[in-house]
Amino acid sequence: MNDFSMLTDIAIADAYGAAFEYVRDSKFYIRNDLKRYYKHPTHNIKPGCYTDDTQMSIAIARLMLSNDIWTKRTLAHYFLDTFRLDPREGYAKNFYNFLKSTKTADEFVSNIKPVSVKAGAAMRSGVIGLYSEIDKVIEYATLNAKLTHDTKTGINSSIAAALMVHYFVHAKGSVSGLLHFLNNCVSMKCTDTWQGFVGADGMDAVNAAITAIVSSDSLSEVLRKCVDFRGDTDTVAAIAIASATNCSEIKHDLPQKLYDKLEDGPFGRKYLRELDSKLSAFIV
């Protein structure tokens, strides 16, 4: 699949959505026009730069492309190593400081307090959905959550976000069947009727992403709807686009300018395209 662009599209959604994250000023949303990347009114992240959603997805992709066995320790290693290669803002303050101060994977596993119900596990689990075996998707998405978000919400949102990708990548059904598929696999109820502000809860982010996908015909429409919800816009957008970009029913129409203006440093768009090329081998 030469046109496989999942990580690149996640980065675009993340970088675009980051400008609107938890912005309360209604007037600011007039910028939700997909014409360019915007600067967040208070954050220091430069327009076109992705955040933790993408970087942690990259870490999981690197693990998938390695010969390493999936364990909490190996996953922690890739999170730490990927961050050290390219330290960047966008993480929650406490977790950012944790990554900076943690020296080894063993130290990560020993010292992390995995009690969060937030969307941190779900935001990065989409790439796990590339595995062809659904049992493996669920197993690895669960392990992903247990490392940092070992709660019912954390685990189920991670599984759901991975299965959303799996459903479309491996042609399990149409857009209209997505919700039924998820509710047969996930122990917490998924919905496609989300309305309004999206807080930090993992399942809320997943449900907003599902709603954007099933009510849209194009990636541009999905992305704009994710931002229009408001709240945790970059995470909802990353989860939704990870899935929608693999759906044959959804038009791939993200503006070329968003591709062209996506960051292009050592771990920017060229690097992401290289990872996408390697990840395409997971698609049979």
Residue range 161-183, pLDDT digits in tens:
999 999 999 999 999 999 999 99
Answer yes or no: is 53 a known binding residue.
yes
Answer whether residue 2 shows pLDDT above 80: no
Angle between helices 52-65 and 233-244 (to 10 degrees): 40
Q: Which range of residues forms the domain containing residue 85?
A: 6-282
Compute the average pLDDT of residues 12-39: 98
Gap between the Cα atoms of 264 and 126, Å rounded: 23
pLDDT band at 59 (very low <50, low <70, confident <90, very high): very high
Answer whether residue 1 shows pLDDT above 50: no
Q: Of 233, 280, 284, which Cα lies nearest the Cα of 1?
A: 280
Say if 200 falls within a structural domain.
Answer: yes
Answer whether residue 121 shows pLDDT above 70: yes
Answer yes or no: is 102 a known binding residue.
no
Global confidence as pTM: 0.98
Say if 138 falls within a structural domain.
Answer: yes
107-135: burial string, b at 16+ Cβ within 10 Å, e else: ebbeebebebbbbbbbbbbbbbbbbeebe
Q: How many domains in the chain?
A: 1
Answer whether residue 89 shows pLDDT above 90: no
Say if 81 falls within a structural domain.
Answer: yes
Q: Tell me, what CATH number does 143's domain have? A: 1.10.4080.10
How many CA within 13 A on the CB side of residue 119?
29
What pLDDT score does 152 carry? 99
Say if 1 falls within a structural domain.
Answer: no
Residue range 241-262, pLDDT digits in tens: 999 999 999 999 999 999 999 9
Gap between the Cα atoms of 95 and 2, Å rounded: 36
Averaged pLDDT score across all residues of the chain: 98
CA-to-CA dists, residue 24 to 13, 28, 178, 184, 231, angstroms: 20, 8, 31, 36, 8
Q: Of 8, 16, 7, 4, which Cα lies nearest the Cα of 237?
A: 16
Backbone phi and psi for residue 233, each to the nearest 5 degrees, phi listed first = -65, -40
Say if 41 falls within a structural domain.
Answer: yes
Cβ atoms of 150 and 174 closer than 8 Å: no
Q: Residue 5: helix, strand or coil by DSSP?
A: coil
Answer yes or no: is 232 a known binding residue.
yes
Answer whether residue 220 shows pLDDT above 90: yes
Residue range 138-149, pLDDT digits in tens: 999 999 999 999
What pLDDT score does 3 carry? 86
Say if 278 falls within a structural domain.
Answer: yes
What pLDDT score does 189 carry? 98
Say if 190 falls within a structural domain.
Answer: yes
pLDDT band at 44 (very low <50, low <70, confident <90, very high): very high
Say if 164 falls within a structural domain.
Answer: yes
Dmax (CA) of the chain: 49
Answer yes or no: is 235 a known binding residue.
yes
How many CA within 13 A on the CB side of residue 109?
14
Tell me the residue type at 248.
Answer: S
